Structure 1
Amino acid sequence: MFVFSFNPLLLTMSLPLIGIFILIFFISDNEKLNIKVFSLLITSVTFLSSLLLWINFIESTFQFQFLQTYRLSSFFNITYSIGLDGISIFFLLLSTFLINLCILISWENPKYFIKEYFLCFLFLEFCLIQVFCVLDILFFYIFFESVLIPMFLIIGIWGSRERKIRAAFQFFLYTLIGSLFMLSAIIFIYSVKGTTDLLSLWFTDFSLKLQLLLWILFFFGFAVKIPMIPFHIWLPEAHAEAPTAGSVILAGVLLKLGGYGFLRFSLPLFPLACLYFNPLIYLFSLIAILYGSLTTLRQIDLKKIIAYSSIAHMGFVTLGIFSLNINGIEGSIILMLSHGLISSAMFFCIGILYDRYNTRILKYFGGLVQTMPLFIIFFTFFSFSNISFPGTSSFVGELLILIGLSKVSFILVSFAFIGVILSASYTIWLLNRVCFGLLSTFYFTKFQDISRREFLILLLLTFIILWLGIYPHAFLYEIHFSILNLFKLLFLKF
């Protein structure tokens, strides 16, 4: 184990900011390659720094690690606190890993405003690291909303089609309005308790009526981000118009912010309200699974197929979180990490097809096994991962969630199994339409299998999905102690 004389978490958080400051001085017209190389260097070092945090993470502890607190105002009792536990460290790793891949994915795109494009991704990385590290609900809200700014620009400026402005505003307004309810709850908590420090609030009791009110306000902010039905309207449009790297980070990390918020804030702060609203969450989750799956079967746009399937998978996540037992919650965390990898891989595969076909309409595809055999091998693997095939990461997550749900109600398990069957239906249908049948060449512009860069990206994602599926203990061990700490807090409040 390495010994640090400083907090290594501060280094990880500051690297994207350093990269932004240096990148501003590049001349975008003359230094396109240098901008890409420098951005890749910064994101790679940030990812390695986050790996160093995991290496030095003490697994068998209930405490937050790499803690650092700065008192910003004694008069207003405002502090800036950071730290990691077994839950947040893996979301931090997921964020730094996928941002690094996004830089590689964007190596040949965009064609304009290149410096600004990579600046957006560096700022997005900084905000995401903050979201998973801060231990103060006010600063969590600030960075939770700051994520909207670079994502709005990525969709609105570098989107692929004419409706990109509409999609960007739809994404921005839906998520902003939902989060305003959460802001009102944070202001109320500060006015009543005099602090926004999360570790202090965990040991503070709220009355039942107050818990119900605050839970609802937080729920709107998190439900839009997941998104739960009926707050999902923005997601398919945002995915359809975003560039490939934008879709990767949107599906890979941004959809996880709502689930992380439920785990970090709603469960420990408002446990009685979570019990009270459990039936409502189960209803919304089952609707998301069934409606999302059935709607996926009706889509003709490749990106919208994956977008609606994401709604169904996140329905499983909310079922696991609000099962309120260790198996269900651990399964929901594993499924979020798994979905972040698999959906990113699927969107990247669709981006590869779009580069060659210049269309995402399903009926123009077919017979690609004849011209792109390497691509089809990866696409088949990710498709089977998407249906939770044994040995892949999603299988571990969904199995734990179903075990957790079985302790609540077998009716819930039965409906969840229908979602599993529907997931297999639309995924195999998509795989069959793209891979097999007669070769469609009408829109085919480039007869080329995947490049070395694309092969490297897909191979990395394949390796991690298999690692998480075959040896989940490497991740579950750290998660388990943090979940036990969460339940210890719940029992104290009950």
Structure 2
Amino acid sequence: MSHTVMQLLLAALVVLPLLGAVAALLPAPPGLKGTSPEQAVLRHGVTVTGVVLALSVALAAGFDHDHPARMQATTDLPWIPALGIRIHLGVDGISLPLLVLTALLTFLCALYSYFKMPTGPSPKAFVALLLVLETGTLASFAVLDLMLFFLAFETVLIPMYFLIARWGGEGRERSAWRFILYTLLGSVVMLLGLLLVGIDGGTFDMVALATDNGSSLSHTTQVIAVLAIGAGLAVKAPMWPLHSWLPDAHTSAPTVGSVLLAGVLLKMGTYGFVRIILPIAPDGAHTFAPYLAAFAAVGIVYGSLVCLALARKGAKGDLKRLIAYSSVGHMGFVLLGIATLTPTGVNGALFANVAHGLITGLLFFLVGAIKDRYGTSDLDSLAGTTGAALYGRAPRLGGLLAFGAVASLGLPGLAGFWGEMLAMFASFRPADGLSRPAFLVFMALAGLGTLLTAAYLLVVVRRVCMGGEVDPAAERAGEMPDGPALPDIRRHEFAAWSPLVALTVLAGLWPAALLGLTDPAVQQLLAGGK
């Protein structure tokens, strides 16, 4: 495919959702209203996100897979010449999988919402916010200018705030405020670091700075820049102990909000570490790598222990909250891989990023469906009052929840396994100059985290899918709360979830498809773009 066509595809990918958001706010043309204007705007959301997904697939098909380390489909135009800020777009083997993942998850969320719109204000605003969110996330992965990256990074915050605050569940306003205050505070610090790098390095161009590999930045500048930029990215990642906004945001968000928050927004933080910190400030990254690895390892164990506490009987744990805390642990593996500063670790981190988006996106969809059917996502209620539980009442839904759980705990042959295994493998032999004994301790903690992850997820499957937690006296009296059968997986749910299941299996059985894209790009990035 010609360079001009690829350029147009990438530019359209970023701009089209924004135009779609504007169009969503306009009155629907008379011929397209269908049974109601609400239905028309939801159909518009499905159409626009579907076209964006098609463009992302076309971009992936036209991508030169023989040279994934080379920046492709590049557009480089002056925007604010006085400040040296340019509209610079491009895609390589690192950003391509994340662009396709974002387009896929947003389309599936729009499709799901068409049939199951969350209760709240006007669908017009909902669709417009969803499309603005998509523009911000796609732009974050496509831009190659530090200031544009910051703008795209910030664009995402406002639509996600409103999605939580207006269409969320109980405690949504407080959760939305925590989300925006935490992430904005992190972003302010990150902006200072980006400005420092751009002014000291003489350019905001990420490719030029990566090629320079920090040679024009003093050691002190790099350390300060990594501390500032890393703090902003770590909040979004989310790294322990900067994660406390996440469980509340997930618990209160509507189903599609949780899917996009876990599947796409968290990836922006870890992508920033790989794209900005590692190649542009390698000395600073080397200085902070042991601390990042330590926080990551603690986060893995902490997230798993909290989930284990939430899963136990009588803890009144919320299933959505449990999966949110599991994200803290899973993203800990991504950060641990990055902290090793080795190609193996960074490839593992990028693989785990995509796997987490697929698996956790599926789990949040499933929990949303369970909450719709039962009216609650409280684990004690689900396990104690449902008798035969999901296997008996909605077997396909129960089977899919069990599949999501075993994929999340890292079963070999499914997507969750490879990223975590590579991150631990890289910790066994980190980059030169890093303390190997320390990283062996982090590897051991990560290994403990995988055992704890298996423990809490199997407890969840036993309680929610198998049920049977009834009062012994009631059981003797024959008062078993079997209840009527629940609606099993509906057609629109099957359509929204099938791609995630298929890709989870495909990535698990054929990891080379993803690693073949990322590895050459990572090797070049760590070598300073040479």
TM-score normalised by the chain length of structure 2:
0.89
Change (3 A) 1:89 1:264: same
Of the three residues 332, 341, 345, the one matched with 1:315 is 332
Asked if 1:120 is matched to 2:126, the reply is: no
Residues 308-457 of structure 1: pairs in structure 2 closer than 5 A: 308-366=325-383, 367-408=389-430, 409-438=439-468, 447-457=486-496
For 2:393, the aligned partner's letter is T
Q: Is the 1:358–1:443 Cα contact (8 Å) retained in structure 2? A: no
Inter-partner Cα distance in structure 2 for 1:278 and 1:444: 54
Q: Is the 1:364–1:443 Cα contact (8 Å) retained in structure 2? A: no
Of the three residues 473, 480, 483, the one matched with 2:519 is 480
Q: Is the 1:364–1:442 Cα contact (8 Å) retained in structure 2? A: no
- Counterpart in 2 of 1:233? 244
- Counterpart in 1 of 2:97? 90
Inter-partner Cα distance in structure 1 for 2:367 and 2:125: 24
Change (3 A) 1:70 1:38: same
Q: CA deviation at 1:445?
A: 9.0
Give per-residue Cα distances to partners, 1:241-279, cap 9 Å, x unaligned.
000000000000111111100001110111111111122
Of the three residues 500, 506, 510, the one matched with 1:467 is 506
Q: Any gaps of 5 or more consecutive residues in structure 1? A: none
Q: CA deviation at 1:104?
A: 1.8
**SS of aligned partner of 2:78:** strand
Give per-residue Cα distances to partners, 1:51-109, cap 9 Å, x unaligned.
11110111222210000011123333221100001010111111100000111221222
Greater shift after overlay, 432-441 or 207-216?
432-441
Residues 27-426 of structure 1: pairs in structure 2 closer than 5 A: 30-61=36-67, 62-107=69-114, 108-111=116-119, 112-161=121-170, 163-202=171-210, 203=212, 204-205=214-215, 206-299=217-310, 300-366=317-383, 367-408=389-430, 409-426=439-456
Inter-partner Cα distance in structure 2 for 1:116 and 1:275: 45
Inter-partner Cα distance in structure 2 for 1:79 and 1:292: 40
Q: Is the 2:424–2:443 Cα contact (8 Å) retained in structure 1? A: yes
**SS of aligned partner of 2:246:** helix
**SS of aligned partner of 1:227:** coil
Inter-partner Cα distance in structure 1 for 2:347 and 2:409: 19
For 1:187, the aligned partner's letter is L
Q: CA deviation at 1:110?
A: 2.5
Q: Is the 1:26–1:115 Cα contact (8 Å) retained in structure 2? A: no
Q: CA deviation at 1:151?
A: 0.1
Inter-partner Cα distance in structure 2 for 1:21 and 1:345: 29
For 1:460, the aligned partner's letter is P
Change (3 A) 1:10 1:424: same
Q: Is the 1:370–1:439 Cα contact (8 Å) retained in structure 2? A: no
Q: Is the 1:392–1:468 Cα contact (8 Å) retained in structure 2? A: yes
**SS of aligned partner of 2:76:** strand
Give per-residue Cα distances to partners, 1:339-364, cap 9 Å, x unaligned.
00100110111000110111111011
Q: CA deviation at 1:447?
A: 2.3
**SS of aligned partner of 1:120:** helix
For 1:416, the aligned partner's letter is A
Give per-residue Cα distances to partners, 1:329-348, cap 9 Å, x unaligned.
11110101000010011011
Q: CA deviation at 1:438?
A: 2.3
**SS of aligned partner of 2:528:** helix
Q: Is the 2:290–2:339 Cα contact (8 Å) retained in structure 1? A: no
Inter-partner Cα distance in structure 1 for 2:84 and 2:2: 35
**SS of aligned partner of 1:449:** coil
Change (3 A) 1:38 1:44: same
Greater shift after overlay, 439-448 or 4-13?
439-448
Inter-partner Cα distance in structure 1 for 2:356 and 2:520: 22
**SS of aligned partner of 2:77:** strand
Change (3 A) 1:250 1:446: farther
Between the aligned residues of both structures, percent identity stands at 34
Q: Is the 1:26–1:35 Cα contact (8 Å) retained in structure 2? A: no
**SS of aligned partner of 1:331:** helix
Q: CA deviation at 1:424?
A: 0.1
- Counterpart in 1 of 2:386? none
Inter-partner Cα distance in structure 2 for 1:443 and 1:199: 61
- Counterpart in 1 of 2:477? none
Inter-partner Cα distance in structure 1 for 2:79 and 2:483: 58
Aligned length: 490
For 1:470, the aligned partner's letter is L
Q: Is the 1:368–1:439 Cα contact (8 Å) retained in structure 2? A: no
Inter-partner Cα distance in structure 1 for 2:481 and 2:250: 25
For 1:118, the aligned partner's letter is V
TM-score normalised by the chain length of structure 1:
0.95
Residues 21-32 of structure 1: pairs in structure 2 closer than 5 A: 21-26=22-27, 30-32=36-38
Q: CA deviation at 1:413?
A: 2.1
For 1:154, the aligned partner's letter is L
Q: Is the 1:356–1:446 Cα contact (8 Å) retained in structure 2? A: no
Inter-partner Cα distance in structure 2 for 1:445 and 1:246: 30
Q: CA deviation at 1:192?
A: 2.8
- Counterpart in 1 of 2:433? none
Q: CA RMSD in A?
A: 1.9
Q: CA deviation at 1:475?
A: 1.3
**SS of aligned partner of 1:67:** strand
